[in-house]
Chain A
Amino acid sequence: MTTAHEPASDTGAPPAQLTEREQIAQLARATAVASPMAEPAPEPTFAEGVRAYVQRVRAGDIGSLPAVLGLVVLFVLFSSLRPETFPSPINIANLIVQASSIIVLAMGLTFVLLLGDIDLSAGVAGGASAGVMASTISVLGAPWYLAVLAGLLTGLVIGTLIGLLVARVGIPSFVVTLAFFLGLQGVTLRLIGQGGTVPVRDPVIVQIANGNVPIVLGWVLTILAAALYAGLTIRRWLGQRRRGLTRDNGGLVIARAVGVAAALVALTAVLSQNRARVPSIVLAGMPWSVPLIAVLLVVLTVVLGRTSYGRHVYAVGGSAEAARRAGISVPAIRVSVFMIGSTLAAVSGIIEASRLNSVTPGSGAGNQLLLGVGAAVIGGTSLFGGKGKVSNAVIGGLVVATITNGLGLLGQPSYVNFLVTGGVLLLAATVDAVSRRRRSSAAI
């Protein structure tokens, strides 16, 4: 072995040594072929694909599996306890509208949580942004789009301030956003006045949570979305197979596309039923917040999963030092996630204002933030950073809204609601912490 490592040749080296050198080079070439990387990646069989997933789950990479199971359990539970009211189309539509603002809030929080930070002010940032929007209409008489823009800008400014304080000054995000949680409530109170409410009557804004998509358009959008998802994933899989890259089993890819399509069709079918309580009117179609969330889901998923910005967010969350050495500006990424988080919080606040037709000084203050963080974490986003998806926020938001909605139908007093939601958040955080330990112990 030692002779193999001598310098290539020096003056007067015997020719035998040169040939040995060549032999080594040949050996290296031969072993290069033996490397699994030189051959196309084998496609796993259906069973292997399923087994690999089970193994990932057991190693602590559980994703949104507990949330999906929890959602199923909750649906079965509440449907059997309140078979008349809970599974009715009007309640499902109601539940989705209730979940909308939580889902969007959780989507924004996902970005912040991916860095291992927390934004305690997201709820009240949404309230303050909604207050600005409502006041822009009622005081200045501005059209709805300018008012929405003002609301979104409010969120962006709040997020930028928080981000700069955290990333540039170096204050822990917990403290900065706790200060903003208090301060922003003061801002909303000053804007609206003690005990006051600003009504939201603009028809377009009210429509977000209270209007429905025409049934035909709803079906067109649903079929388009299902077909696009199936087409894009299958096209990608075919490309991976052609080039011999790592890929899932083809059957699993098709099964997923069929599953997504079935879920979308089932949802649209339920929401397309007439749910009016009186026979004289027709109330049907998906609420406008559904396509709004769908668009946000697609755009943010692409941003996180398919752009280098998203890749850098994950990298900073996983190892800030590795990201820094790779030439990524860690402070810039940190500022940007707070900007995204608070801007989406503003969207969430506007949806909530639309649902309630008003903005009060307490908007977004109560347990809105707890529900948002809960939705993200229950959905499978890690509190420790580096792990999570935007789609987790959707599933988690539905779980949280189902709990609130179901307990309300059971006639439970609101303290039970607080206790249960708090308990579920704690449970999700426990699952997160335990699975994280499994992940790190599975490493070496």
Chain B
Amino acid sequence: MSEPASPTSPATTPLLSLRGVDKSFGAVQVLHGVDLDVHAGQVTALVGDNGAGKSTLVKCVAGIYTTDAGEYSFDGRPVQISGPKDTAALGIEVVYQDLALADNLDIVQNMFLGRERKKGGLLDETSMEELARQTLASLSVRTVRSVRQLVSSLSGGQRQTVAIAKAVLWNSRVVLLDEPTAALGVAQTRQVLDLVRRLADNGLGVVLISHNLNDVFEVADTITALYLGRVAATVRTRDVTSSQVVELITAGRSGDLGAAPASASATA
């Protein structure tokens, strides 16, 4: 966290790094030579219009799609990704927009779903509850009263909190959040953004996909703008204004920023 970690500084080793990623579905090429860096302790926002390739890129990072070309490196080492199991093993977790929680189970049960802890063949509820509490405490979650309440009794913000806590429970190092505040009210958005910030403060690499530039400017350290499947620019949040990012999203360039894919990759 204390070492220099800006995307323009070549000295840093990003936690997760994609270089020149191409992805086509049949005749349609969705991603063109995309570069993406995720640094530990930083929030990287991924912005772009509908169809810019955000979701495809996230699925490539998560290993759900295999890339046609390009390099994938983790911790500075190139890795081969052939499926979601590989990325899970690296500690990459995705929190999807529809949260994938079971309403009829409680928070602990949801957090450990599919990866239950067992003792003597039976579920080890004690250690699961302890670990769930520790995880929520480490994220300074104050909005959840009891880990034994059913998810159906939670508000949208609390559900998002549980989904994020579930993702960090597994010693993950990179968390990708797909529109975490899309369906939330003001106060709940506040809670979730605080949580996103705290994830980064705890040393994780966070990728935030969002349409909401207010959210992005509030928590992101760097912004990667996609335009028609290309990286328009990767910029530091404090170096740009909201209207510049809007131009990057809608036109692919803003003044001397971004634009030509060649210049975007030149920063790598």
Q: How large is the interface on A (under 10, 10 to 19, 20 to 34, 35 or more residues)?
A: 35 or more
Are A443 and B154 neighbours in the complex by a CB distance under 8 Å?
Answer: yes
What's the minimum C-beta distance from B245 to chain A, rounded to whole angstroms? 15
Binary contact track B210-235/A, C-beta < 8 Å → 1, others 0: 00000001111110000000000000
Interface-located stretch among B52-60, B130-138, B172-180 = B130-138
Instruction: Say yes or no: is A48 at the interface (Cβ < 8 Å to chain B).
Output: no
**Chain B neighbourhood of A311, CB < 8 A:** 105, 109, 113, 116, 123
- Given A37-B144, A41-B146, A318-B105: A7 touches B42 (CB 8 Å cut-off): yes
Are B109 and A444 neighbours in the complex by a CB distance under 8 Å?
Answer: no
Bound together, the chains give a CA A344 to CA B156 distance in angstroms of 40
**Chain A neighbourhood of B154, CB < 8 A:** 443
Instruction: Say yes or no: is A36 at the interface (Cβ < 8 Å to chain B).
Output: yes
- Given A308-B116, A308-B118: A11 touches B9 (CB 8 Å cut-off): yes
Q: Scan residues 1-36 of chain B and give those whose CB is less than 8 A from a CB of chain A.
A: 1-6, 9
**Chain B neighbourhood of A328, CB < 8 A:** 113-114
Binary contact track B109-132/A, C-beta < 8 Å → 1, others 0: 110011110100111001001100
Name the residue on B nearest A10 (C-beta).
B6
- Given A2-B217, A308-B116: A10 touches B4 (CB 8 Å cut-off): yes
For A1, give its contact among B104, B110, B123, B218 (CB under 8 Å): B218
For B136, give its contact among A4, A31, A35, A326 (CB under 8 Å): A35
Are B137 and A37 neighbours in the complex by a CB distance under 8 Å?
Answer: yes
Instruction: Say yes or no: is B197 at the interface (Cβ < 8 Å to chain A).
Output: yes
What's the minimum C-beta distance from B98 to chain A, rounded to whole angstroms? 8
Are B130 and A245 neighbours in the complex by a CB distance under 8 Å?
Answer: yes
For A307, give its contact among B103, B121, B130, B201 (CB under 8 Å): B121
Bound together, the chains give a CA A127 to CA B9 distance in angstroms of 76
What's the minimum C-beta distance from B241 to chain A, rounded to whole angstroms? 12
What's the minimum C-beta distance from A42 to chain B, rounded to whole angstroms? 10
- Given A308-B116, A319-B101: A9 touches B4 (CB 8 Å cut-off): yes
B residues contacting the other copy or chain, number (CB 8 A): 65
Bound together, the chains give a CA A319 to CA B104 distance in angstroms of 8
Instruction: Say yes or no: is A412 at the interface (Cβ < 8 Å to chain B).
Output: no
Binary contact track A4-28/B, C-beta < 8 Å → 1, others 0: 1111111100000010010011001
Bound together, the chains give a CA A314 to CA B137 distance in angstroms of 27
For B141, give its contact among A5, A37, A239 (CB under 8 Å): A37
Name the residue on A nearest B198 (C-beta).
A28
Are A308 and B123 neighbours in the complex by a CB distance under 8 Å?
Answer: yes
What's the minimum C-beta distance from B90 to chain A, rounded to whole angstroms? 16
Are B123 and A307 neighbours in the complex by a CB distance under 8 Å?
Answer: yes
**Chain A neighbourhood of B148, CB < 8 A:** 246
**Chain B neighbourhood of A31, CB < 8 A:** 140, 142
Instruction: Say yes or no: is B240 at the interface (Cβ < 8 Å to chain A).
Output: no
Name the residue on A nearest B156 (C-beta).
A444
Are B126 and A240 neighbours in the complex by a CB distance under 8 Å?
Answer: yes
For A34, give its contact among B136, B142, B197 (CB under 8 Å): B142
Are A32 and B138 neighbours in the complex by a CB distance under 8 Å?
Answer: yes
- Given A28-B140, A36-B145, A318-B105: A443 touches B152 (CB 8 Å cut-off): yes
Are B113 and A8 neighbours in the complex by a CB distance under 8 Å?
Answer: no
Instruction: Say yes or no: is B100 at the interface (Cβ < 8 Å to chain A).
Output: yes
What's the minimum C-beta distance from B110 to chain A, rounded to whole angstroms? 8
Bound together, the chains give a CA A56 to CA B213 distance in angstroms of 40
Are A35 and B238 neighbours in the complex by a CB distance under 8 Å?
Answer: no
**Chain B neighbourhood of A443, CB < 8 A:** 103, 152-154
Are B140 and A321 neighbours in the complex by a CB distance under 8 Å?
Answer: no
**Chain B neighbourhood of A245, CB < 8 A:** 126, 129-130, 133
- Given A8-B2, A10-B4, A325-B100: A314 touches B105 (CB 8 Å cut-off): yes
Are A323 and B138 neighbours in the complex by a CB distance under 8 Å?
Answer: no
A-B contact pairs, 22 of them (CB 8 A): A2-B217, A5-B237, A7-B5, A7-B42, A7-B236, A8-B5, A8-B42, A9-B2, A11-B9, A31-B142, A36-B145, A245-B133, A307-B121, A311-B123, A314-B102, A315-B114, A319-B101, A321-B98, A322-B100, A322-B101, A325-B96, A443-B103
Q: In the complex, given contacts A37-B133, A312-B113, A328-B114, what are 18 additional A-B residue pairs having Cβ atoms less than 8 angstroms apart? A: A4-B197, A8-B41, A9-B4, A9-B5, A10-B4, A10-B9, A28-B202, A35-B136, A38-B137, A245-B130, A245-B133, A308-B116, A317-B104, A326-B113, A326-B114, A386-B102, A386-B104, A444-B155
